[in-house]
């Protein structure tokens, strides 16, 4: 039955996969907050024109991947394909585009109509950080440090690739050069691809098409179009990364798929993922806020693919907590009463009050298989004596506690 199927590329998330996704989100939030980034939530629906003006109307995302629809009034809306444009729109909408440096983070679903494959979904989740208002490379270093720490905490090995793509002027000159360069090969390139590359020639650089790769063997790199200041800025960011002890390589073909980038761009690549190997991407977008009608403010940031990362991390160990089983129906209410008191005392303690009807030994097995550290079974006797036998499953040791001692043991 069609209506019971999920939409292609938009799977339900549950069990171990969901645990890994939550774990990635928790680590991201913890690291973002440790750098004093503030959470920002923007709507999932935006006007499609926002992305035409930011990601660029010749970008693959806007050309082919946006989920768009007219609402009941006939306005053309879309499901957001990425988070940066929404944050910038929100800065302008809410008059937050002032000179104060701002650091925002977001976590949430994004939507791109791409061909689903390993590591690529149509609804996927991103965690992103945007640092607005600082033109210096210190801001780039800060967001790269955030990214590095998240990956370190998740125990993910990835290669940081960086490039510098100059300012809007340099990019325009380089585009013109590439357009002309490609003209000589018009007859050897697929017509549709040629047309696309004439509109957005920069994308030729990271094209996966073997013919294009061959054609571009002798093409000039963008660095050959840099002025003195741009050369120095690229040197400066490299020096600061080295000083900060951050490993990286320079990828001169790294141009990113969104049109708003200028200056430093970067990606983290994992060798564990196959074709969809970019786990995190970002860079500077010094003209975007102004282009969207706000003040001229420099900005830099990144977003990471939560789903992609969740595929290459180990499931977090969820041990801990206490499983409170019961021997009869009446004792279930008693178990709930005790658990409620424990929860009030210690909000971080995970407690399961078992509601099923399994026998004592099956309850013990459940507690063990669900990695609880403690198990306690209550019955008529415990209700009368208010003494409890608590078993530490990790140490395989049991001890008896009064109600007061039990609450004290788990307090804090």
272 binds ligand HAM (CB under 6 A): no
> Could you tell me where the beta strands, DSSP code E, fall in 22-95?
38-39, 45-47, 68-70, 76-79
Inter-residue contact 334 to 383 (CB < 8 Å): yes
Under the binding rule (CB under 6 A), the answer on residue 201 touching ligand HAM is no
**How many CA atoms lie within 13 Å of 329's alpha carbon, on the beta-carbon side?**
0
Q: Is 56 in the site for ligand HAM (CB under 6 A)?
A: no
**Degrees (nearest 5) of the Cα angle 116, 269, 280?**
70
Judged by DSSP in three states, 112 sits in: coil
Question: Minimal distance in Å, beta carbon 303 to ligand HAM?
Answer: 4
Residue from 133, 263, 298, 305 binding ligand HAM (CB under 6 A): 305
Site stretch for ligand HAM (CB under 6 A), options 40-48, 188-196, 273-281, 347-355: 273-281
User: What string marks each residue from 108 to 147 as x (binds ligand HAM by CB under 6 A) or -?
Assistant: ----x-x-----xx--x-x-x-x-----------------
Nearest approach in angstroms of CB 144 to ligand HAM is 12
Of 56, 282, 294, 321, the one binding ligand HAM (CB under 6 A) is 282
Q: How far apart are CA 198 and CA 176, in angstroms?
A: 9
The correct pick among 280, 339, 342, 367 for binding ligand HAM (CB under 6 A) is: 280
Residue pair 146/31 in contact by the 8 Å Cβ criterion: yes
Return the number of the residue (306 or 342) whose C-beta is nearest ligand HAM: 306
Binds ligand HAM by CB under 6 A, chosen from 42, 54, 59, 84: 84
For ligand HAM, give the closer residue by CB, 241 or 279.
279
CB of 86 to ligand HAM, least distance (A): 9
* Using rule CB under 6 A, residue 90 touches ligand HAM: no
Residue with nearest beta carbon to ligand HAM: 305
Provide the minimum distance between the beta carbon of 169 and ligand HAM in the complex, in angstroms, as a whole number.
21
Q: Does 196 bind ligand HAM (CB under 6 A)?
A: no
Q: Which of 86, 201, 263, 281 binds ligand HAM (CB under 6 A)?
A: 281
DSSP 8-state assignment for residue 200: S
Q: Given the complex with ligand HAM, which of 59 and 353 has the nearer CB atom?
A: 59
Beta bridge partners of 283: 265, 301
Whole-angstrom distance, CA of residue 168 vs CA of residue 384? 78
If you write DSSP's letter for every residue of 252-300 in order, what string do you get?
A: TT---SSTT-EEEEEEEE-TTSTT--EEEEEEE-TTHHHHTTS----EE
Give the DSSP H or E segment for 302. Answer: strand 299-305
Sheet with 351-353: list strands edge to edge.
Answer: 351-353, 322-326, 374-378, 387-392, 397-402
Contact pick of 46, 82, 142, 259 for ligand HAM (by CB under 6 A): 82
When binding is defined by CB under 6 A, the residue of 166, 298, 301, 321 that contacts ligand HAM is 301
Contact between residue 370 and residue 395 where contact means Cβ atoms under 8 Å apart? no
**Is 303 one of the binding residues for ligand HAM (CB under 6 A)?**
yes
Coil, strand, or helix at residue 89? helix
294 forms part of the interface with ligand HAM (CB under 6 A): no
Residue nearer to ligand HAM on the CB measure, 144 or 189: 144
Q: How far apart, in whole angstroms, are the C-alpha atoms of residue 85 and residue 303?
A: 12
| 28 vs 393 by CB, closer to ligand HAM | 28
Q: Token pair for residue 379?
A: 């019955």
Q: How many residues bind ligand HAM (CB under 6 A)?
A: 27
202: left (phi over 0), alpha (psi -120 to 50) or beta: alpha
CB-based contact 297:284 (threshold 8 Å): no
Choice from 132, 154, 202, 279 touching ligand HAM (CB under 6 A): 279
Site of interaction with ligand HAM (CB under 6 A)? 82-84, 112, 114, 120-121, 124, 126, 128, 130, 257-258, 278-283, 285, 301-305, 307-308
């Amino acid at each position: 039955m069609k209506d019971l199927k999920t939409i292609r590329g938009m799977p339900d998330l549950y069990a171990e996969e969901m645990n890994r996704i939550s774990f990635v989100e928790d680590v991201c939030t913890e690291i973002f907050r440790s750098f004093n980034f503030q959470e920002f939530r923007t709507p999932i629906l935006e006007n499609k024109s926002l992305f035409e003006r930011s990601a660029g109307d010749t970008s693959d995302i806007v050309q082919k991947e946006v989920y768009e629809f007219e609402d009941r009034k006939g306005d053309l809306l879309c499901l957001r394909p990425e988070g940066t444009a929404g944050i910038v729109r929100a800065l302008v909408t809410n008059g937050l585009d002032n000179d104060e440096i701002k650091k925002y983070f977001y976590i949430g679903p994004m939507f791109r109509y791409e061909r689903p494959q390993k590591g690529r979904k149509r609804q996927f989740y991103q965690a992103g950080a945007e640092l607005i208002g600082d033109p210096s490379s210190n801001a780039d270093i800060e967001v790269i440090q955030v990214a590095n720490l998240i990956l370190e905490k998740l125990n993910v090995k990835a290669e940081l690739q960086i490039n510098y793509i100059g300012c809007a002027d340099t990019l325009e000159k380089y585009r013109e050069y590439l357009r002309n360069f490609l003209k000589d090969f018009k007859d050897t390139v697929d017509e549709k691809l040629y047309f696309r590359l004439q509109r957005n020639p920069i994308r030729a650089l990271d094209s996966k098409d073997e013919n294009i790769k061959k054609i571009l063997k002798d093409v000039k790199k963008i660095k050959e179009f840099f002025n003195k200041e741009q050369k120095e800025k690229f040197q400066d960011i490299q020096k600061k990364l080295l000083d900060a002890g951050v490993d990286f390589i320079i990828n001169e073909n790294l141009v990113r798929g969104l049109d708003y980038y200028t200056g430093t761009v970067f990606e983290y690549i994992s060798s564990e993922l196959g074709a969809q190997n970019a786990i995190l991407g970002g860079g500077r977008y010094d003209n975007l806020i102004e282009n969207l009608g706000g003040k001229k403010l420099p900005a830099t940031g990144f977003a990471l693919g939560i789903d992609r990362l969740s595929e290459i991390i180990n499931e977090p160990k969820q041990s801990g907590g206490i499983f409170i089983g019961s021997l009869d129906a009446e004792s279930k209410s008693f178990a709930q009463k005790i658990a409620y008191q424990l929860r009030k005392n210690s909000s971080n303690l995970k407690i399961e009050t078992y509601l099923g009807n399994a026998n004592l030994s099956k309850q013990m097995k459940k507690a063990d298989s669900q990695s609880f550290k403690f198990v306690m079974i209550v019955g008529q006797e415990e209700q009368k004596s208010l003494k409890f036998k608590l078993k530490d499953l990790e140490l395989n040791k049991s001890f008896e506690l009064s109600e007061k001692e039990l609450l004290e043991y788990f307090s804090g």
